[in-house]
Amino acid sequence: MTMSGTGSDDRAGSGATSTPHARHRPSPLFLALVAGAIVSGWALWSGIGPPAIMSFVVVLLVWIVSLSLHEFAHALVAYRNGDVSVVYRGYLTLDPLRYTHVVYSLVLPLVFLIAGGIGLPGGAVFVNRAAIRTRFANSAVSAAGPLTNLAIALVLAVAISFRQGSSPFWFTLSFLLFLQVTAAVLNLLPVPGLDGFGIIEPYLSDRALAAVAPIAPFAIFGLFALLWVPAINAAFFTAIIGITSFLGVPSVFVGSGFALFRFWS
């Protein structure tokens, strides 16, 4: 997700990235998360520890890593197109704490991931839209995040294509792919607050934007409320499963991965 900012060179909050090189270097936290995902994935592959617990750990860590990549993609495209403020905000360090927003980063993603298995990228980067050079570049900034989720899904699909038999490891990768597809599809919807709206926003007239403004703060909550309607929920997940099946992932693998993830149920 991206949010509009106003400052062109906001250096607030840059204490953790005090040198020019540090502002472009992967943070220790991000590297620790990647290492944790690799180690827990290896343990799941090797059958070390309770499969359900290990699956939960793998999904949680990889999801946070993918969140960081999603938001980093927004920031990188913004930086390449004129917004240097993302450097001083620490967005190019892949540090998930730099992308934290209480509602979008913590509350909503946790509720939807645990309750419904819906992947919602919960980060937020503040972009100085006035510094972005063209309307197309502004659209590209918004598109970069969900396209990153799609790229991760494709990488997972390639990995899963080499599977032999079935195991908790492959079930977990399948569920992770499902989450990436869900995140991409949700974010590409043209709803205020989501990246899909950010893609088309530069091309909307002032009159259209003024008409949308009163409902914009609540639109995303309305969308999520609709997802709780049984018929809409079923149609949405049917579409997602159709995409994952197209990518070569059996729906039973996704379901088994979701069941492992929800080890408490």
Asked about 201 being catalytic, the answer comes back as no
Residue for token digits 């009163």?
214
* Whole-angstrom distance, CA of residue 160 vs CA of residue 225: 33
Phi and psi at residue 126, to the nearest 5°: -95, 120
- 3-state class (DSSP) for residue 182: helix
Q: Which of 72, 70, 54 is nearest to 153 (CA)?
A: 70
Q: What is the dihedral of CA 117, 200, 5, 31, to 10 degrees?
A: 40
Structure tokens at 6: 């106003």
CA distances from 38 to 60, 204, 215 (A): 12, 44, 42
Considering 71, 83, 95, 201, which one is annotated as catalytic?
A: 71
Q: Which of 193, 144, 14 is nearest to 86 (CA)?
A: 14
Q: Which of 114, 233, 223 is nearest to 175 (CA)?
A: 114
Three-state secondary structure of 215-256: CHHHHHHHHHHHCCCHHHHHHHHHHHHHHHHHCCCCHHHHHH
Residues classed as catalytic? 71
